[in-house]
C-alpha cells in the first residue's frame, strides 16, 4: 500500500525534475565550456615563458579564477541573486540559476583545461613553433588535439560537479532533483522521495563518468 501511494503521489514528479536537472546542466555546461576554454588559452598564452607572456594579464586572470573558485556555490548563489535578476529577469526556476552556475563552473573548467594543456609534450609544441607555425594554430591544432583525452575527463568531472551544484540550487526554487528532494524529501519528511532522488543522482553520475572514461580511452587510441 505504501509503495502504491508513492507511485501514485510522487513518482509522476520525477520525470519533470530529471528534465529540469539536465536542462540546467547542459545549458550551463555549454556556456561554461566556452568561457573556460577562452580563459584557459589566455592563461597558457600569457604565462611566463610563452610567446604572448603578459605578467599583468596572467596575474589578473589567475587571481580572478582563484577568488571565484574559493567561494562555495551556495554562498555564490545567494550573493548573485541581484545580478541574476538584472541579467535574466528572474531568480527562480531553471532560467534563474543558469548565471550563477556558469560563474561557478567556468573558472573551474578553465583550471582543468589549463592543466590538461600543460600536460601536452612541450617538445612537440616547440617543434611546431620552430617550423614557423603560428601560435593560434598550435593552440587549436596541436595542444587542444593532443590534450583531448585529458579534456574529456576534465569535462566529465566538471559535469558531475555541476549536477551537485544544481542540487544545491533547489534551495532557491531552481527546480530539478535537488528542489524535489528539498521541498518534499526534507521539508515534508517524505523519506522515500529523498531515497529515490539519491538513487537517481548516483545512476546519472555513474553513467556520465562511464561515458567520459570510454570517450577518453577511444581518443587515446586515435
What is the DSSP code string of 150-167? Answer: HHHHHHHHHHHHHHHHHH
Average pLDDT of the residues in 168-192? 78
Inter-residue contact 185 to 44 (CB < 8 Å): no
Inter-residue contact 163 to 176 (CB < 8 Å): no
Cα–Cα dist 153/132, whole Å: 31
Residue with cell 501514485: 8
pLDDT tens digits, one per residue of 57-83: 999 999 999 999 999 988 898 888 888
Inter-residue contact 75 to 69 (CB < 8 Å): no
pLDDT at residue 28 is higher than 90: yes
Higher pLDDT: 49 or 76? It is 76
Whether pTM > 0.85 for this model: the answer is yes
From the number of C-beta atoms within 10 Å of its C-beta (0-12, 13-18, 19+), residue 173 rates as middle
Please state which of the ranges 56-70, 143-157, 162-176 shows the lowest mean pLDDT. 162-176
| Per-chain mean pLDDT for the chain | 85
Amino acid at each position: 500500500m505504501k509503495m502504491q501511494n508513492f507511485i501514485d503521489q510522487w513518482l509522476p514528479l520525477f520525470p519533470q525534475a530529471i528534465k529540469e536537472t539536465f536542462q540546467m546542466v547542459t545549458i550551463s555546461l555549454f556556456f561554461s565550456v566556452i568561457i573556460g576554454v577562452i580563459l584557459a588559452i589566455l592563461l597558457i598564452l600569457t604565462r611566463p615563458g610563452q610567446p604572448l607572456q603578459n605578467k599583468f594579464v596572467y596575474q589578473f586572470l589567475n587571481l580572478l579564477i582563484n577568488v571565484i573558485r574559493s567561494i562555495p556555490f551556495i554562498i555564490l548563489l545567494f550573493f548573485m541573486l541581484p545580478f541574476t535578476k538584472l541579467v535574466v529577469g528572474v531568480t527562480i526556476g531553471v532560467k534563474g540559476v543558469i548565471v550563477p552556475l556558469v560563474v561557478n563552473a567556468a573558472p573551474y573548467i578553465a583550471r582543468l583545461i589549463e592543466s590538461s594543456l600543460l600536460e601536452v609534450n612541450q617538445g612537440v609544441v616547440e617543434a611546431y613553433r620552430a617550423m614557423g607555425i603560428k601560435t593560434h594554430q598550435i593552440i587549436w591544432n596541436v595542444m587542444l588535439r593532443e590534450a583531448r583525452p585529458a579534456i574529456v575527463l576534465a569535462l566529465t568531472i566538471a559535469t558531475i560537479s555541476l549536477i551537485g551544484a544544481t542540487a544545491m540550487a533547489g534551495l532557491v526554487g531552481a527546480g530539478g532533483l535537488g528542489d524535489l528532494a528539498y521541498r518534499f524529501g526534507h521539508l515534508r519528511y517524505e523519506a522515500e522521495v529523498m531515497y529515490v532522488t539519491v538513487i537517481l543522482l548516483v545512476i546519472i553520475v555513474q553513467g556520465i563518468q562511464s561515458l567520459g572514461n570510454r570517450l577518453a580511452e577511444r581518443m587515446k587510441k586515435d
